[in-house]
Structure 1
Amino acid sequence: MLSSAPAVACAILAVILSGLSKGGFAGVGALAMPIMALANPPVESAAVLLPILVVQDVVSVWSFRKNWDRTVLLVMLPGMMIGVVLGYLFAARVSERAVLAMVGGLSVLFGLQRLWHERGQGAVLPSNSPRWLGVLFGIGSGFGSQVAHAGAPPFQMWVLPRRLPRDALVGSTAICFAFMNWIKVPAYVALGQFSRANVLASAMLMPVALGATCAGVVLVRRVDPARFYTIIYALMIAIGIKLVLDGVGWP
């Protein structure tokens, strides 16, 4: 981890994007893991990011603590717990290349889905979709988050069509992912990923992560993120394809 200048640059960019996401630019954080894994081992990258995410969650939850939707929390949290367990069982039995391909595949799918949505094609689900379906999407979110810190796609596919007020959406997202990141900690301990080197790498990146989170909290209330999102999602697709190719060993 962080063994070269490109590795450090990728890590810094990753925690900045994660911070902006935690500050309110929901979805941008899904790009953090793919960028981190471009120049760092993917499994170790996930372990380095987790303590950073936990600390960033404190800032985001506190900033939006008065704005959240009760239904979203009641529906998504149980499914997220199940998904984390399934993700742990998956990660404990597959190779690092498979994890790399999983990260890339999730990135491509998420980027394509969001670009489609940004083009005005509408949400994939009606706003009154049943709660049991939300639980299933919560399972998918927990699984993707445990494997690659990429739980945003299924979460947003169920929550975004509900058209919550901006702050309620940001607050609900912050609480759900803070809860999920905390329950991921025992799984990462069981996988032996909190080595001394990984913890030191997390500590080195922490000041950048906190600064980016605070910046996100301020910017989300002042900036129209539409064009910014389009660039991020297009970049996510390109990076995701690169990681899938690396994962399958081509060329």
Structure 2
Amino acid sequence: MSYLEILGMIGLGIGCGVSKLGIPAALIFSPILASIYGGKASAGIIIIPILVSDLIVMYIYRKNADKKVVLKMLPLTFLGMIVAVIFGKYISDEIFKQSMGIIILIIGILTLMKSFKIDFSKLSVLFGFLGGFAAFIGNVSGPLMSIYLLNIKMDRDKFYGTRTWFYFVVNLVKATLYVVVLKNIHLETFKLTSVAIPFVFVGVFAGKYFVEKMNQELFEKFIVILSIMSGLKLLFF
């Protein structure tokens, strides 16, 4: 493993941890890893530290989850994942990466629309489907769920509890599909992510601290700009 790969895995671990607290770091590291390892391989690499971060945040917010919201979103999310499975199995790696770019651009636009106080709370069907598709294609669906949950007026603890339980179920199913369908999780994947996993803990607790302290609105706008740039890079470069 090169020094660049080690640095990449450290960044991945921290990014996965931070992203569980509603900070869409996946919009940054997901396209970077896709550029290095390819779209399908990077999706398999990312899912392992994501599952670890799910377990950590689930423990922190273990008493806070709106099960009705989770159950409402899951059916359409699984439908989106099924469509993504069919789509992802029969396309080239280049088209896979470009699809990830399109999804990231959509998320960026939706996030900008959130800044203008547009109400997404009645669009659970759209968010569920797009979330499932984006989750399978590129592990970049977190911002979609954040936008939806913030629009149904949840307090912070319930927001994190609901979001994490939802994504733990989704990510567990997704990891199984990666192994069975895309076959993009293997021994080399675990070797790479063994470096990332310890830094997931750093990311979770750093994210928890900063979410409570920093100006989240300004940070979200900064992330949106980076996400749109990342999406354009995957589409055209």
Q: Provide the TM-score with structure 2 as the length reference.
A: 0.89
Tell me how far 1:105 sits from its aligned partner: 1.2
Q: 1:146-203: CA deviations, max 9, x gaps?
A: 1111223543453332121122112111111111000112211112111221121111
SS in structure 1 of the partner of residue 212 of structure 2: coil
Q: Does 1:170 align with 2:160?
A: yes
Q: Does 1:58 align with 2:55?
A: yes
SS in structure 2 of the partner of residue 220 of structure 1: helix
Q: 2:141 aligns with which of 142, 145, 151?
A: 151
Aligned positions of 1:97-246 closer than 5 A: 97-118=94-115, 121-125=116-120, 127=121, 129=122, 133-190=123-180, 191-246=182-237
Alignment partners' CA distance in 2, 1:28 and 1:4:
22
Aligned positions of 1:91-102 closer than 5 A: 91-102=88-99
Cα 1:42/1:9, change in 2 over 3 Å: farther
Pick which of 81-90 and 198-207 moved more.
81-90
* 5+ residue gaps, structure 2: none
Alignment partners' CA distance in 1, 2:6 and 2:221:
26
CA contact (8 A) 1:81 1:139 kept: yes
Tell me how far 1:11 sits from its aligned partner: 4.2
Q: Does 1:35 align with 2:32?
A: yes
* 5+ residue gaps, structure 1: 247-251
Cα 1:99/1:11, change in 2 over 3 Å: farther
Alignment partners' CA distance in 2, 1:100 and 1:53:
19
Pick which of 218-227 and 195-204 moved more.
218-227
Query: Who is 1:18 aligned against?
Result: 16
Alignment partners' CA distance in 2, 1:83 and 1:216:
28
Instruction: State the AA in 2 paired with 1:49.
Output: I
Tell me how far 1:136 sits from its aligned partner: 4.1
Alignment partners' CA distance in 2, 1:32 and 1:211:
16
SS in structure 1 of the partner of residue 213 of structure 2: coil
Alignment partners' CA distance in 1, 2:79 and 2:176:
14
SS in structure 2 of the partner of residue 123 of structure 1: coil
Query: Who is 1:249 aligned against?
Result: none
Alignment partners' CA distance in 2, 1:171 and 1:123:
24
Pick which of 159-168 and 87-96 moved more.
159-168
Number of residue equivalences? 236
Instruction: State the AA in 2 paired with 1:143.
Output: F
CA contact (8 A) 2:10 2:195 kept: no
Alignment partners' CA distance in 2, 1:43 and 1:16:
21
Alpha-carbon RMSD across the aligned residues, in angstroms, is 2.1
Alignment partners' CA distance in 2, 1:147 and 1:107:
11
Instruction: State the AA in 1 paired with 2:102.
Output: G
Cα 1:89/1:96, change in 2 over 3 Å: same
Q: 1:16-45: CA deviations, max 9, x gaps?
A: 2221111x1343333331132233322111
Tell me how far 1:225 sits from its aligned partner: 2.0
Tell me how far 1:206 sits from its aligned partner: 1.1
Alignment partners' CA distance in 2, 1:156 and 1:214:
19
Alignment partners' CA distance in 1, 2:132 and 2:199:
26
